[in-house]
């Protein structure tokens, strides 16, 4: 990696100030994507702002919502009894990310800020209609994801927490990229009081996470795998690479969605 300065602020205002003061400053959450990127010299920050001492770790739940601090690790999410009980699909998703080491370091906030098109969490956030809380505002999931590696976050803006509605139904099925084991196709199905049935797809789309409205309409009428069996997902706009053509990804969306619904 290139040389950089390092700072570990102890309050959100200090962190925001440090990130805002320098256009080349970068925030460090769990570092499970960012550190490898640095090691490969694909990024050259002047200063790294470590977010680990901002008190952003933890899970709070009531009968309507589950709120997860941005620096909460995948492991904490997968093993939280509240998440398991209130949004089981989210706990399952967290348990399927990376390996044990990654899950003990990687964070939900870091993943969402990066918005890698093959990351898992964007599918849960979009399908559940979660709210992204930042240091100065709240952003609805529908407004947050703006394409591959692009979000509604302004420069220097920090995610502080993610608020999920309690789900009537939630489940996630992922087909891993055979090499990287990231989601090649990930499908999150959810039914919530506020948003009804939603189906969000990650890993497959050229523009990152997206909603599958045809499946949503069918499942709203009949929440069963049979209801979406005949739905053909168009391959247009899907990624193609050596591991999966757009057509194969389109097919896998159907398979993963049916499996997710069947076990939701």
Partner 1 sequence: MGFEGIGASVRRKEDHRFLSGRGSYTDDINRPGQLYAVIRRADRPHAKILGIDTAAASAAPGVSAVYTGAELEADGVGGVPCGWQVHSKDGSPMAEPPHPVLAIGKVRHVGDPVAVVIAATRQQAKNAAELLVIDYEDLPAIAAVRDAVAAGAPLVHDDVPGNVCFDWHIGDKAIVDAAFAQAAHVVELDLTNNRLVPNAMEPRAAIGDFDRSSGEFTLYTTSQNPHVIRLLMGAFVLHIPEHKLRVVAPDVGGGFGSKIYHYAEEAIVTWAAGKLHRPVKWTCDRSEAFMSDAHGRDHSSKAAMALDAQGKFLALRVSTLANMGAYLSTFAPAIPTYLSATLLAGVYTTPAIYAEVKAVFTHTVPVDAYRGAGRPESAYLLERLVDVIAHDTGLDRVAIRRLNFIPRDAFPYQTPVALNYDSGDYQATLKSALAAADWDGFPARRQAAAARGKLRGIGISTYVEACGIAPSKLVGQLGARAGLYEVANIRVHPTGSVTVLTGTHSHGQGHETTFAQLVSDQLGIPIDQVDVVHGDTAKIPFGMGTYGSRSLAVGGSAMVKAMDKVIAKGKKIAAHLMEASVEDIEFKDGRFSVAGTDKSKALAEISLAAYVPHNYPIEELEPGLDETAFYDPKNFTFPGGCHICEVEIDRDTGTVTVANMVAVDDVGRVINPMIVEGQVQGGLAQGIGQALMENAVYDSEAQLVTGSFMDYQMPRAHDFPPMITSTENTLCTHNPLGSKGVGETGAIGCPPAVINAVVDALRDYGVRHLDMPATPQKIWSIIQANQPRMAAE
Please identify, using beta-carbon distances, which residue of 41 and 221 lies nearer to partner 1: 41
- CB 47, min distance to partner 1, A: 18
Phi-psi bin for 187: left (phi > 0), alpha (psi -120 to 50), beta? beta
**How many CA atoms, within 13 angstroms, populate the side-chain half-sphere of residue 225?**
13
Q: Which is nearer to partner 1, 1 or 47 (CB)?
A: 1
CB of 249 to partner 1, least distance (A): 9
Minimum CB separation of residue 73 from partner 1 in Å reads 22
Structure tokens at 229: 């069996």
In eight-state DSSP terms, residue 188 is E
- Of 57 and 251, nearer to partner 1 (C-beta) is 251
Interface residues toward partner 1, by CB under 8 A: 2-3, 40-41, 175, 178-181, 241-245, 248, 251-252, 255
Work out how close the CB of 248 gets to partner 1 at its nearest, in angstroms, rounded to a whole number: 5
Cα distance between residue 107 and residue 98, in whole Å: 12
What is the residue whose two structure tokens read 């969490």? 121
Q: Which is nearer to partner 1, 101 or 180 (CB)?
A: 180
């Amino acid at each position: 990696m290139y040389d950089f300065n390092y700072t570990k602020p102890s309050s959100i205002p200090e962190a925001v100030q440090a990130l805002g003061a320098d256009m080349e400053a970068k925030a460090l959450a769990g570092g499970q994507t960012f550190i490898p990127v640095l090691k490969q010299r694909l990024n050259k920050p002047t200063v790294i702002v470590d977010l680990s001492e901002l008190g952003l770790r933890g899970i709070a739940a009531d009968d309507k919502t589950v709120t997860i601090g941005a620096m909460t690790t995948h492991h904490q999410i997968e093993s939280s009894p509240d998440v398991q009980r209130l949004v089981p699909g989210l706990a399952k998703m967290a348990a399927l990310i990376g390996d044990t080491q990654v899950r003990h370091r990687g964070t939900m906030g870091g993943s969402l800020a990066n918005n890698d098109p093959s990351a898992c969490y964007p599918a849960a956030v979009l399908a559940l209609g979660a709210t992204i809380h930042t240091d100065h505002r709240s952003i609805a999931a529908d407004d947050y994801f703006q394409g591959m590696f692009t979000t509604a976050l302004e420069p220097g803006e920090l995610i502080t927490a993610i608020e999920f509605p309690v789900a009537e139904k939630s489940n996630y099925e992922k087909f891993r990229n055979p090499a990287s084991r990231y989601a090649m196709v990930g499908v999150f199905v959810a039914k919530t009081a506020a948003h009804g049935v939603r189906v969000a797809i990650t890993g497959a789309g050229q523009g990152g996470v997206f909603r599958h409205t045809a499946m949503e309409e069918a499942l709203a009428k009949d929440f069963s795998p049979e209801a979406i069996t005949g739905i053909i997902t168009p391959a247009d706009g899907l990624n193609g690479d050596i591991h999966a053509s757009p057509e194969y990804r389109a097919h896998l969306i159907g398979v993963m969605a049916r499996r997710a619904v069947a076990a939701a």
